[in-house]
Each structure stands twice: as C-alpha cells, then as structure tokens.
Amino acid sequence: MTPQPDSFEHLLRELTPQVLGAVIRRFRDFSSAEDAVQEALVAAAMQWPREGVPDNPRAWLIQVASRRMTDYLRSEMARRRRETEAALEMDQLAPPPGSASDSDQDDTLILLFMCCHSALTSSSAIALTLRAVGGLTTNEIAIAFLVPEPTMAQRISRAKRSIKDSGVRFSLPTSQERAQRLGAVLHVLYLIFNEGYTSSAGPNLQRVELSHEAIRLARAVHRMLPDDAEVAGLLALMLLTDARRPARTGTDGELIPLTKQDRALWDQKQISEGTALLTKALSKGSIGAYQLQAAIAAVHDEAARAEDTDWPQILALYDLLKRMSDNPMVVLNHAIAAAMVHGPAAGLELLHGLDNDGRLAGHHRLDAVRAHLLEMAGDHQAAIAHYRIAASRTTSVPERNYLMTQAARLNESAGG
C-alpha cells in the first residue's frame, strides 16, 4: 500500500531534528550538515512515494545526508585537506546509523537551543527553527512569510553564520543557562504560532500552517520536558487559542470578535486537551506567564455563551499576569476585564494610566479598547472618533475593516 503524501511529510518532519543531530555529531559542522539534511529530505520526498519508505527511514536519511557531507568535504579538499581526511576517516570508522536512541531527544532540544540563540534576530531564529527542527523547506517557509525564496535562503544562511560566529557548541546548555535559553525557545515558538494566526488571511493550499507547526514543535518540547510547567502552559495556550480558529473569521474573511463568535464551531477536543494540560501544569505550583495566559483562554473557552464568561476570574488572572510581566498589552486587556466586572468607567480610568506609556503612544490597540469602553459607557460620539483613529493606525486590513464597520454601525444607529 502506498502511504499518503501527507504521512511522508509528517514522517520527514518528525525525523529532521534526529537526523540533523546525528549528522552534526558525525561531522561537527552545523551549517553544512543542515544543508546536507535538507538535500536528503528533498531526495526522500522524491524517492519514497515512488519506491516506498525504506525499512529504517531514519538510517536512510542519515546515510544520504552523510554521503552529501562527504561529497561536500571532498570538493573542499584542495582548500581544507587535513579536515577532509579526518572527516572521511570518521565516515569509514563510524558505525552504521542505528535506530532512534535517547540522544535523539537531546539532539532535538540542542537544535532548538541553537536555532533560538540570542545572537539571532527573531525573524532569523524563526526561519532557522522551522527549517532545522521543523523540517520545512526554504520554499515552504518563504511562502508562509510571503517573501521570495532567495530572500528566505539568505536569511537562513545568515542565521547559520551568526550561530557559527557566536561560537555556541552543539551541546545542552548548563543548568544555570537553561532557564533563560528555554525562555528564548518558548518565545520563538510563541512567535511562530502568532505569525500563523496573523498571516492566515485567505486560503492558500501551498501555505504551511504555521500555527500547527508551532503546536507540533511545542508538543515535541513538552514530550522532552514533561515536568516543565511553562512548556505545558505554552502548549495549552496554543491549543486553547487555536480551538477558536474556525469561528474567528466569517465567510468573506471578516474578523469576528470573541463575543460574537459561533461557539459551536470551537474545537472541543482541543479545548479539553488544553484544559487538561493546564490543570496538570498549574498543580505543579510554579506559575508563569504562559500558564496564566492559557488560564485566561480556558475561562473564555469554558463559557457556552459570551454572557456566561466568568469575568471576575479573568480579572483576577490579569491581576496576577500584570504583576509578572511589564507588557502594556497585558495592562490593556486588564482594563477590559476591569470594565466587564466594575463597569466601563473603571476600565477607562485604567486606560488613563497608559496614555503616558511611550510604548503604547500612537498604538491602535489603545484607541480600539478606548472606543470599545466608550461605547459601553454610552458615549457614542467619542467612541466613533476613537474607532476611526484606531482604524487609521492599524496595520491589519481585516482589523481596519472591522474598526471602520464599528464606527459606521454606531454612526448609523445614532444619526438614523
């Protein structure tokens, strides 16, 4: 029986970090090994559907990538004679690649730590993570970010050069470094997830679902570090947010706010998985920002109707989150929760505190939230003005359409 192309792709992506780890261990060169593994993946994607999946696909990929590495090193021979001999010797001496072992899990983690290194800009870290750990091709990543393939290829090769220049070794970070480095990894996965969320305008069959890719990678990290509550928290946050995806947009691609969504469309399976993960994580007692955000998403997801939302609980969670993070967006959302519990005046009062926060100066979200609270307070003229200011400042087309529609709706109901 010929497996579906989907399952090839899945298998290849799952194997990518393991194969890459094995090749790096053998040849000690992250950058070329990464190229060689990409070539092996391409070869597999062409051959396997025709000839069937080899008995040991992992060993097959390692063999092909190693052959590429050997070819590459041979062609470098004139310049780098001594290194080449050492590597070829190693190739002959190395035992044939066996089946998956414990070190595969470590390799995936090490690769993630490398790709999300602080020496990289976030766009480079995202691209490199998707390729080296996620097993996506450069073209797939380019399409996902709507940039030309050569641009993405340059971005990836620059990222690899930065890693080389930073001198980071292919090994697990020390226990002191670990928390900080893991934080960087989780942040990159979170960015990939949000990118998938924000760039999902319009159907594109060729596009890789970045949100699903982020969930897959977060699952892998959770499998490797099952006791880390923040890893579980991030995975739960992704699941609980992604569960609402089918209800987020209407038939013409227009945005539907949380309060107006058809909750029957929410993915209940994802919600219960996310909730279970979160409950377990919270019981471990080390509460972090991802767990709190997941908890807020869970409270929204639990409400069968928008009016059933437990706003006092959301407010309490934002209180905690506000103490933990200095993000002005958290303060904005806290103001909304306060308005839902204590009335719009309380929310508007909190927004005054944000007017002098330089990070939010001119940010459309401040105007959008203010417009929403002014509307709640019955001050429709002021609400219309702020919806329009927010519309002129947002960089998202669907959000601009939404904000302009809000202003138009209020204007028409007022003027008649």
Q: Which residues bind other proteins (CB under 8 A)?
A: 121-124, 145-148, 150-152, 154-156, 158, 194, 197-201, 241, 248-249, 255-259, 336, 368-369, 372, 394-400, 402
Residue 358: burial class (beta carbons within 10 Å; 0-12, 13-18, 19+): exposed
Cβ nearer to other proteins, comparing 69 with 340: 340
Q: What minimum distance in Å lies between the beta carbon of 341 and other proteins?
A: 15
User: Minimum CB separation from other proteins for residue 191, in Å?
Assistant: 11
Nearer to other proteins (CB atom), residue 100 or residue 258: 258
Nearest distance from C-beta of residue 115 to other proteins, angstroms: 15
Residue 170 vs 190, nearer CB to other proteins? 190
Rounded distance between C-alpha atoms, residue 83 and residue 153, angstroms: 27
Provide, rounded to whole angstroms, the least separation between the CB of residue 148 and other proteins.
7
If the CB atoms of residues 40 and 136 are measured against other proteins, the closer one turns out to be 136
The Cα–Cα gap between 178 and 243 comes to 31
C-alpha–C-alpha distance, residues 96 and 62, integer Å:
9
Strand boundaries in 295-354, DSSP class E: none
Q: At a CB cut-off of 8 Å and minimum separation 6, what does 127 contact?
A: 141, 145, 152, 155, 156, 159
Tell me the C-alpha distance between 9 and 46, whole Å.
11
Q: Least Å distance between CB 59 and other proteins?
A: 34
Residue 238 C-beta: closest distance to other proteins, Å: 11
Looking at the Cβ atoms of 16 and 124, the one nearer to other proteins is 124
Cβ 359 to other proteins shortest distance, Å: 14
How far is residue 252's CA from residue 40's CA, in Å, rounded to a whole number? 41
d(CA 341, CA 138): 48
| 11 to 180, 183, 226: CA distances (angstroms) | 31, 28, 22
Give least dist CB 303 to other proteins, A.
15
Q: How far is the CB of 145 from other proteins (least distance, A)?
A: 7
Q: Tokens 């070794």 map to which residue?
A: 169
237, 299 Cβ separation under 8 angstroms: no
| DSSP 3-state of 67 | helix
Residue 308 DSSP code: G
Smaller CB separation from other proteins, 23 or 337: 337
Q: By C-beta, is 31 or 199 nearer to other proteins?
A: 199
What are the φ and ψ backbone dihedral angles of 75, each rounded to 5 degrees?
A: -70, -20
Residue 71 or 254 with smaller CB distance to other proteins? 254
Inter-residue contact 131 to 34 (CB < 8 Å): yes
Residue 382 identity (one-letter amino acid)? A
- 212 touches 226 (CB < 8 A): no
Phi first, then psi: give them for residue 249, nearest 5 degrees.
Answer: -125, 145
H or E stretch including 74? helix 57-75
Kindly state the smallest distance separating residue 275's Cβ from other proteins, in Å.
18
Number of other CB atoms surrounding residue 149 within 10 Å: 14
Closer residue to other proteins (CB): 194 or 325? 194
- Between 91 and 399, CB nearer to other proteins: 399
